[in-house]
Amino acid sequence: MEVVTSYSATSSYPRFALYNPNKPSSLTFKPIIISPVHPWKSFPGRNIEARLLCRILYKRTNLDESGRCGGSDAHSKPFFWFCILGRLNKTFPSQSGSFALRHGHPLRSWKTGSHQKVTSHSQKIRQHISVVFVCLVTAMLLVTSASVALSSPPSWAISEDNLLFLEAWRTIDRAYIEKTFNGQSWFRYREDALRNEPMNNREETYTAIRKMLATLNDPFTRFLEPEKFKSLRSGTQGSLTGVGLSIGYPTGSEGSQAGLVVISAAPGGPANQAGISSGDIILQIDNTSTESMGIYDAAERLQGPEGSSVELTIQSGPIMKHLALTRAKVSLNPVKLRLCEVPGSEKSYPRIGYIKLTSFNQNASASVKEAIDALRSNSVNAFVLDLRDNSGGLFPEGIETAKIWLDEGVIVYICDNRGVRDIYDTDGSSAIAASEPLAVLVNKGTASASEILASALKDNKRAVLFGEPTYGKGKIQSVFQLSDGSGLAVTVARYETPAHNDIDKVGVIPDHPLPNSFLKDDDGFCGCLQDSASACYVNNVQLFSR
């Protein structure tokens, strides 16, 4: 049995009755009085609605036993104001037709002496019954919401360390190349980390950030503490204190070896003077294995105060070396130049301008321009650009250096998982050496920005490449500074050469090899062109032939 509201076929006022679902329905319902009806003494309508609502909410609130709103602690009850609003409703009519409802108290009823008044108010009654129903539903929802709120854990304030973590998370979210984030929900990771990872101090927050980045499984996306970030910036600005090594993860033929590979050794630096060269494997730094060591951790260990020492265990081919190096201030002047004269040359290249570019710091492109101007003042016939052991650096400097040599063409395509998203090209407005014959020398120490430059000159048929396949770093990192001075190195894109080759872990393939004994310094280069009896001899005409 259930209570329903219906309208009689002969009257327009609502009635509440008992409905039996097993009995055929009828259009006419008669009110069934299930308890004695007592006269209602014409209370004002605003009190009728307020009392009705308070009685209905009685079981779900802490209203007093009399059914009144409030009580001794009424202001602490969730529905106190709901009842007050009910009392302030002045639109409910003061008198209406028959009404019966049982809700834990004796049923009450009221009547009027005039059927005409009942009829005239019928429409308003129907409206207010609807209002009462809506209020009931709203009250139930509010009770449910209050229960959930009371059962939920108390809210917590966002701390300064939480904000730093969120800053790092947001940087990865916006900049990282792989939008699947290694197959995980990046938003869910944020919520779980804020809930579960301790971030009570800065070191705990740094640990949480490192842990977050480790889930990407990308060795080139790394967190940099303030000192590491400062050191990285100084390395692109002209000098650093250390042993003068550029290092990377083994790729290609070195991929199966444990440790870190030497990409290049800065000319004149402690490592170079000790005989360390590109392709050597660093097995230990100060007796700590590099098998699972990150490149940024290794770089921090290699750098240090000028005059301090560091011990390295190096695998160079079949030879194992244990070396003690003294750290020094390594100048990163990126360019060396040399005029090579080839006496008795039968062809048109007797004066060759040699430019060795060792890195792409913020002075790289400007230094290359100065070198070209200086060599042109000596009436050179051709140029050789030596990128061997150039481990890269600033991506924009690689682009600007390419523009020096090209009168037009694409330099590089920047790609993400959806394909090409940006194109770097040139219209020749920055070119100052787009006509002279050009040869480019590369080796397995040629990486990153120098690979972009080499492939741009090769694919645009501006230069002939000599040497061996390059390192094969086909992804681009950007460095982002966080608010506390720390930073993130983030893989933001991969690139394709102008011929749409993806060189990652493959490298740029040169047009011709160089003799194994071909020397790397400027004096040795000139000697290999001048002495036809030397084992490293290269005919200067062949150097510029395709």
The CATH number for 440's domain is: 3.90.226.10
Does residue 87 sit within a domain? Answer: no
187 pLDDT more than 50 = yes
How large a percentage of the chain has pLDDT more than 90?
A: 44
Does residue 382 sit within a domain? Answer: yes
Does residue 235 sit within a domain? Answer: no
CA dist 172 and 169 (Å) reads 5
Residues 314 and 378 in one domain: no
Residues 503 and 361 in one domain: yes
Contact 240, 234 (CB under 8 A): yes
Residues 395 and 264 in one domain: no
pLDDT top residue among 158 and 323: 323
Residues 317 and 415 in one domain: no
Residues 189 and 248 in one domain: no
Does residue 39 sit within a domain? Answer: no
Q: Cβ of 71: how many Cβ atoms within 10 Å?
A: 16
Dig out the tokens for 269 from the structure. Answer: 């630096």
Structural domain boundaries enclosing 294: 241-329
Does residue 72 sit within a domain? Answer: no
Does residue 90 sit within a domain? Answer: no
Residues 325 and 339 in one domain: no
Tell me the pLDDT of the chain averaged across its residues: 76
* DSSP per-residue string spanning 416-435: ETTEEEEEEEE-STT-S-SS
pLDDT top residue among 9 and 329: 329
Listed range (5-9, 477-481, 542-546) with the worst mean pLDDT:
5-9
Per-residue pLDDT tens over the stretch 498-537: 999 999 989 999 999 998 888 877 778 888 888 888 888 8
Listed range (131-145, 155-169, 281-295, 489-503) with the worst mean pLDDT:
131-145
Mean pLDDT value of segment 55-60:
38
Does residue 283 sit within a domain? Answer: yes
Per-residue pLDDT tens over the stretch 85-122: 333 343 333 333 333 333 333 333 334 444 444 445 55
pLDDT value at position 201?
A: 95
The CATH number for 181's domain is: 3.30.750.44
Listed range (179-183, 265-269, 288-292, 497-501) with the worst mean pLDDT:
265-269
pLDDT value at position 103?
A: 37
Mean pLDDT value of segment 367-394:
93
Contact 312, 273 (CB under 8 A): no
Q: Look at the chain and report how many structural domains it folds into.
A: 3
Per-residue pLDDT tens over the stretch 431-476: 999 999 999 999 988 999 999 999 999 999 999 999 999 999 999 8
Neighbouring residues of 109: CB distance < 8 A, sequence distance ≥ 6: 33, 37, 38, 39, 40, 98, 99, 100
Dig out the tokens for 429 from the structure. Answer: 């407005």
Of residues 390, 278, 281, 409, the one with CA closest to residue 332: 390
User: Which amino acid is it at 304?
Assistant: G
pLDDT value at position 80?
A: 37
Listed range (19-23, 254-258, 408-412) with the worst mean pLDDT:
19-23
pLDDT value at position 419?
A: 78
Positive or negative CA dihedral for 358, 364, 368, 370?
negative
**Last residue of some domain: 269, 300, 329?**
329
CA dist 35 and 508 (Å) reads 96
Neighbouring residues of 429: CB distance < 8 A, sequence distance ≥ 6: none
Does residue 466 sit within a domain? Answer: yes
165 pLDDT more than 70 = yes
Residues 421 and 503 in one domain: yes
Of residues 261, 266, 262, 264, the one with CA closest to residue 238: 266
Residues 383 and 325 in one domain: no
Residues 406 and 315 in one domain: no
The CATH number for 253's domain is: 2.30.42.10
Catalytic residues: 448, 473
Residues 308 and 382 in one domain: no
pLDDT top residue among 283 and 259: 283
**Last residue of some domain: 329, 360, 385?**
329
Dig out the tokens for 371 from the structure. Answer: 């070198």
Mean pLDDT value of segment 307-333:
89
Q: Which helix (H) or strand (E) holds 309?
A: strand 309-316
Residues 199 and 347 in one domain: no
Per-residue pLDDT tens over the stretch 213-269: 999 999 889 999 998 888 777 655 555 678 988 887 776 555 456 789 887 787 788
181 pLDDT more than 50 = yes
Contact 181, 216 (CB under 8 A): yes
Residues 447 and 540 in one domain: yes
pLDDT value at position 151?
A: 43
**Last residue of some domain: 309, 329, 349?**
329
pLDDT value at position 54?
A: 40
